[in-house]
């Protein structure tokens, strides 16, 4: 039996983070969590991390696609926060961000981690950005690194 399981430490990884400005007071915490996880746990070099700011979560799939197509990155981490309001806007933005990011990952065959909060309230978002429900930016970063290693091991 052969079992493939990726480790997290990926010292030579080149990682791009695509991050939305919309709800940036929450996204800033996701970014800090992601960078801390990449460097402190993943041992990724500071010079190998690129951060790209875009207007909102809706713009994340295109940004991830352009980053993926450069061939310069081993993984991409998409960060943002979509909070439900009184209209259907939430569904469109969150839906497009989620399916678009998934499509980029499948088409480019590199990990594109989904670090986009989709919550009912600001309180739920704060809880997931470094307070009582952890930091989803850090979780997305660790997932991206593990997946780099899993894919490398499958192809080896």
Binding residues for (2S)-2-hydroxy-3-oxobutyl phosphate, as ranges, are: 86-87, 128
Residue 55 has, within 13 A of its CA and on its CB side, a CA count of 4
For residue 83, the minimal CB distance to ligand INI (Å) is 5
Residue number with CB closer to ligand INI (49 or 78):
78
**Smallest distance, ligand INI to C-beta of residue 101, A:** 12
For the question of residue 89 being annotated catalytic, the response is: yes
- Per the CB < 8 A criterion, the answer to whether 79 and 57 are in contact is no
How many residues of this chain bind ligand INI (CB under 6 A)? 16
15 contacts ligand INI (rule: CB under 6 A): no
Interatomic CA distance for residues 124 and 101, integer angstroms: 22
Of the residues 19, 57, 78, 129, which one makes contact with ligand INI according to CB under 6 A: 57
DSSP state of 74: S
Closest distance of CB 70 from ligand INI, Å: 22
* Helical residues (DSSP H) of the chain, grouped into ranges: 24-36, 60-70, 89-108, 122-127, 136-155
Residues 74 and 141 sit within 8 Å (Cβ to Cβ): no
Catalytic residue IDs? 89
What is the contact surface with ligand INI in residues (CB under 6 A)?
Answer: 20, 22-23, 55-59, 80-83, 85, 89-90, 93
């Amino acid at each position: 039996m052969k079992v493939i399981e990726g480790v997290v430490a990926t010292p030579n990884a080149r990682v791009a983070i695509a991050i939305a400005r919309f709800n940036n007071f929450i996204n800033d915490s996701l970014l800090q969590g992601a960078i801390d996880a990449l460097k402190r746990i993943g041992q990724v070099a500071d010079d190998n991390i690129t951060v790209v700011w875009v207007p909102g979560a809706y713009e994340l799939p295109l940004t991830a696609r352009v980053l993926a197509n450069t061939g310069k990155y081993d993984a991409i981490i998409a960060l943002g926060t979509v909070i439900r309001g009184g209209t259907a806007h939430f569904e469109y933005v969150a839906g497009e961000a989620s399916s678009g990011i998934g499509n980029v990952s499948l088409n480019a065959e590199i990990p594109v981690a989904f670090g986009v909060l989709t919550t009912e309230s600001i309180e739920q978002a704060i809880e997931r950005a470094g307070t009582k429900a952890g930091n989803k930016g850090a979780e997305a970063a660790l997932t991206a690194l593990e997946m780099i290693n899993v894919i490398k091991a499958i192809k080896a």
